[in-house]
Chains A and B, each alone.
Chain A
Amino acid sequence: MNTISANPWRYRLISVTAVGVVLGAWILLSITSQLDPNKFPPVQAIWSALDELLSRGYSGHSFLEQVGASVKRAMAGFGLAVLIGVPVGIGLGNRSLNAVAGPFLTFMRPIPPIALIPLFTFYFGIGETSKVALIFMTSFLYMTVSAASGVKSVPQDLILASRSLGLNSRQIFFSVIIPAASAHILTGMRIALTLAWALVVAAELIAAQVGLGFMIMDATTFYRIPIVFIGILTIGLIGLLLDSLLLIVEKRVLHWRGRQS
């Protein structure tokens, strides 16, 4: 019993089978013409819509441009959030700084980002700035928390041991606290990236000329449901890809984490 449950392939097989059954059912319903192309499209409708999308694009932009626009926005907001959020979060390890910034950050965190879209559109216009700002804002709040908790998680005795090895404060900060906090920071980055990707679509639902969110919204208006499905599937696949990339980095860089004494 134990040897069977310890085998990870068994559960991987179950997962693959589950996905296969769902896909199989969809294909089966498609070829038996049980599906309405304008409600839940069959495989053929998706296929021909994809073919059209790849050759002629959508609303004056190629499919790649639609994807690229969304990825660029998400990456800009996420990248800025990491660059600024990590130092700020580490700075919050300082008690006085935490006392100043803490209340604002704590208040901002539970506000759903969607609630900020109208205000951000008003402040930053309907161009790129408002979208990137919204993504930045949300990822930033998340990155500060994970960086701050990363710093807090460093064992006090490890810092004391380092002082006894003769390290000065600057060396302790850069050579002990930062690497020790990196595990939390990288986990935070994975979640912030997922958030950023989810938000870009929300941001594009309002006032965008290009992007996957725009494509979904616009295609719905014109009743082109297969396009909507392609948009959603693409968003899912890219989200999965981005997370896997960071997961690989995490496993490479942080092979030691979670297994220390």
Chain B
Amino acid sequence: MSTHTLEIQGVGRSFRSGQGGELIQALRNINLTVHPSEIVSIVGPSGCGKSTLLRMVAGFDQPSEGEILLDKKRIFDPGADRGIVFQTPQLYPWLNVFDNVIFGPKKRGVSKESYVSDAERYIASVGLKGFEHHYPYQLSGGMRQRLQIARVLINEPAILLMDEPFGALDYQTRLDMQRLLLELCERYRPTVLFITHDIEEAVFISDRIHVMGARPGRVLESLQVDLPRPRIYEEVAASEAFMRMKLRVLNLLRH
């Protein structure tokens, strides 16, 4: 059960276009909170700055205004307390599945007994049991994404940051991955910040959705998703509540 809270307070980010060019505001006054064990999605059109926001939470970039706090502490740089899952799996191609998963804890000096049993557990929980000795090039796109998730979960991060993680997968695999994510969330109860442009995906997995608009990137509206859990896709997707929520987000994005 996660006890970690992420707070984004009055965050803005501006870039200068080229040398001495005009200042472009990519993000303006973003305020949002992700409560412990909550799954929060940010939905928006491409170019609305949702990935920029996530990269600032990861510590890859700094806000121009405002601050980002994890458990009341300001974020300055990347760290193992925030596990990031990229759209393009960033795996070590020279290491097999098992070695990819233990890479983080091993380098951080965690004891071997502890990370070996953790690795077995997380590999099994993402459905890669039996593939420990396979290399990334021998895995399908969906399996690579499973591996990336296991590699992050083993660090037991305070928050899971997911940057359109299933955006490059085919429809069927994407559904499988969404189901897997909900399953993992039921089991480990992590705090999750999820970026996507897929409205159905956001509605299906989230407790809350922040809908963003572009130029400048800002939060248009924050919606509570009151669909009961555990959610089973075939039931949820056919429900009226799901449809209503989907249409609401769609309408917000139309303007």
Please report A residues at the B interface, Cβ cutoff 8 Å. 155, 157-158, 160-161, 163-167, 171, 175-176, 179-180, 182, 254-257, 259-261
Q: A166, B155: Cβ atoms under 8 Å?
A: yes
Give Cα A261–Cα B91 distance, bound, in whole angstroms: 9
* Docked complex Cα distance between A179 and B78 (Å): 22
B58 contact set on A, CB distance < 8 A: 160, 164
The reply on B79 being an interface residue by CB < 8 A is yes
Q: What 12 additional pairs, Cβ within 8 angstroms, besides A164-B59, A164-B82?
A: A157-B90, A160-B58, A163-B59, A163-B60, A165-B104, A176-B92, A256-B93, A256-B94, A256-B136, A260-B93, A261-B93, A261-B144
Assess A160 versus B78: contact at CB under 8 Å? Given A165-B103, A176-B92, A261-B89: yes
Please determine whether A160 and B60 come into contact, CB atoms closer than 8 angstroms: yes
Establish whether residues B92 and A157, one from each chain, have CB atoms under 8 Å apart when the complex forms.
no
B84 contacts A164, C-beta separation under 8 Å: yes
Q: Are B84 and A161 in contact (CB under 8 A)?
A: yes
A157 touching B103, Cβ below 8 Å: no
| A157 B88 Cβ-Cβ under 8 A | yes
Q: Is B76 an interface residue (CB 8 A)?
A: no
Task: Contact check, B92 vs A179: say whether CB atoms are below 8 A apart.
Answer: yes
Judged by a CB distance under 8 angstroms, whether B73 is at the interface is: no
29 contacts between A and B (CB under 8 A): A157-B86, A157-B88, A157-B90, A160-B58, A160-B60, A160-B90, A161-B86, A161-B90, A163-B59, A163-B60, A164-B79, A165-B103, A165-B104, A165-B151, A165-B152, A166-B108, A167-B104, A175-B103, A175-B107, A179-B92, A180-B93, A180-B94, A182-B94, A256-B94, A256-B136, A259-B93, A260-B137, A261-B89, A261-B141
Number of interface residues of B (CB under 8 A): 30
Minimal beta-carbon separation of A173 from chain B (angstroms): 12
Residues of A within 8 A of B78 (CB): 160, 163-164
CB contact between B136 and one of A155, A182, A260 (< 8 Å): that residue: A260
Q: A155-B90, A158-B90, A179-B92 are in contact. Are A167 and B84 (CB under 8 A)?
A: no
Which residues from chain A contact B91 at a C-beta distance below 8 Å?
260-261
How many Cβ-Cβ contacts under 8 Å join chain A to chain B?
Answer: 77
> Chain A residues with Cβ under 8 A from B184's Cβ?
none
User: Which residues 59-109 in B have Cβ within 8 Å of A in the complex?
Assistant: 59-60, 77-80, 82-84, 86, 88-94, 103-104, 107-108
Bound Cα distance from A155 to B91, whole angstroms: 10
Is B155 touching A165 in the complex (CB atoms < 8 A)?
yes
Inter-chain CA distance A130–B107, complex, in Å, is 46
Q: How many Å from the CB of B21 to the closest CB on chain A?
A: 22
Are the CB atoms of B94 and A164 closer together than 8 Å?
Answer: no
Minimal beta-carbon separation of B83 from chain A (angstroms): 6
In the bound assembly, the distance between CA atoms of A17 and B93 in angstroms comes to 39
B135 at the A/B interface (Cβ < 8 Å)? yes
| Other-chain residue from B59, B86, B107, B136 in contact with A165 (beta carbon distance below 8 A) | B107
Instruction: State which residues 118-151 of B face A: CB under 8 Å.
Output: 135-137, 141, 144, 151
Shortest Cβ gap from A165 to chain B (Å): 4
A85 to B75 Cα, complex, angstroms: 39
A255 to B94, CA, bound (A): 8
